Amino acid sequence: MNALVVAALALLVVTTTPYVGYLALYAWVQPAGSPADKQDWEPDVSIVLPTYNEAQIVETKLDDLLKLDYPMEKVELVVVDSSTDDTRGIIREYFEDLDAPELVLLEEDKRRGLAPALNDAYAAASKEVVVKTDCDSKLPPDVLREAAANLADDDINAVTGRNVEVLGGSEVESGYRGVQSHIQQLESHLDSTLIFHGPFSAFKNDALLPIDPNSLADDTELALKIRRQGGRVVFDPAVTYMEASFSDFVKRRKQKDRRGMGLIRLLVQHRDALGKYGKYGQVVLPFNWWFMIVSPWLLAATLVIGIGAAISVFGVVGVAFPAAVCVFAYLGQSDRLGPFQPFYSISDTQVSLLRASVELLRGKTDGTWEVDSELREAFE
Ligand code: GDP
Ligand code: MN
């Protein structure tokens, strides 16, 4: 057999084995729902909302928060605003004739980035439970109760949830989120999950820690640090939210690549945690290293060598292989792959992670970004 073919097959086996292993582990553990011992609990809650030029949607967001099924007398809203538009004016006016929730408005003169703004907001949050939510997300009425029920368990310090509906209707994103939800349930049952989601995360106040001012993955960083302090941080699929996303390949890149950079940088910064902290460092972190840092390069190499192998064996006919890859990508980004859509969604994530690694190697690590106004149209 041709050496290129052998190399391509070997790469394919090496790349897919850890995935098969994780699937087998999933089948064995059969994680379902949250591992927490959930109990009814109604603590006082600080809701932290960071805003940067959200004048277009902030009123919708506040309406949404007031619709939460929770006694508003027990809620404090901590907004940290770094806008140059009228966001804070709109918020102040909104609260003028409201008795509850109580508003704590932190006003920044200058945009320093999301992480330093959040550090201030977390320091100002005074209630027993602290919820963080992004402006461009919708929350269902039961989300605070579901989150509090998890935190009623003394062993649980933080909980995040599932994106149930991708506003804007992107099948690419919802396909990936479906797969991710299963992975995060498995991680939570083994020990703790890695990724915390910006649209909704809830923490016990006394577990909060400062985050790196340069962080591009603030929510996940907080969760990881809490785990390293001996806490447990889980994912509960009953805790839900909705966030907007595109399917179009080019439009997806900016946000996904930046998020990928934040996560990869975080894993590398905390590489000393590998192997420690029980199954978190022995299974959860290694799998995420594999998925986010190693697998994107291996997949790219498999593809390049696979194309070389196809052409070397079949000559011109071998061009059918890269052509098929292009058709797969084209159909995938227009949400037309039917049952195979999740495979495209994972490839799409791997593309972002590869691009993120390249950007990091090139030394790009700016802590601020353009808030995407096109995505926000899904909320008006
Ligand atoms: P993405 O969802 O990862 O693309 O991030 P977004 O651009 O949607 O930002 C997440 C949340 O952080 C939104 O509520 C933004 O308004 C807010 N945000 C982004 N940058 C800043 C910032 O520099 N300061 C503050 N206070 N909020 C910010
Ligand atoms: Mn967002």
The 10s digit of each residue's pLDDT in 5-29 is: 999 999 999 999 999 999 999 999 9
pLDDT score, position 169: 78
Map out the domains of the chain with their CATH numbers. Answer: 45-249 (3.90.550.10)
pLDDT at 171 over 90: no
pLDDT score, position 239: 98
Q: How many CA atoms lie within 13 A of 24 on its CB side?
A: 6
The 10s digit of each residue's pLDDT in 69-120 is: 999 999 999 999 999 999 999 999 999 999 999 999 999 999 999 999 999 9
On whether the CB atoms of residues 47 and 133 are closer than 8 A, the answer is: yes
pLDDT at 379 over 80: no
Confidence category of residue 248, pLDDT binned at 50, 70, 90 = confident
The 10s digit of each residue's pLDDT in 363-375 is: 877 778 888 888 8
On whether the CB atoms of residues 197 and 241 are closer than 8 A, the answer is: yes
CA–CA separation, 219 and 217 (whole Å):
6
CB atoms < 10 A from the CB of 13, how many?
11
Per DSSP, helices labelled H in 43-168 are: 58-66, 87-95, 114-124, 143-151
Residues whose CB falls within 8 Å of the CB of residue 210, separated by 6 or more in sequence, listed in order: 119, 122
pLDDT score, position 306: 93
Mean pLDDT of 200-226: 97
State in Å: Cα 133 to ligand 1 middle: 10
The 10s digit of each residue's pLDDT in 37-80 is: 999 999 999 999 999 999 999 999 999 999 999 999 999 999 99
DSSP conformational letter for 52: S
Mean pLDDT of 138-163: 97
State in Å: Cα 44 to ligand 2 middle: 26
Identify the weakest region by mean pLDDT among 106-115, 163-172, 229-238: 163-172
Q: In this structure, which residue's CA is closest to atom 22 in ligand 1?
A: 114
Ligand 1 pocket test, candidate residues 53, 134, 170, most atoms within 8 A of CB: 134
Ligand 1 pocket test, candidate residues 53, 253, 371, 379, most atoms within 8 A of CB: 371
Question: Residue 58 CA: which ligand is closest?
Answer: 1
State in Å: Cα 243 to ligand 2 middle: 7
pLDDT at 174 over 90: no
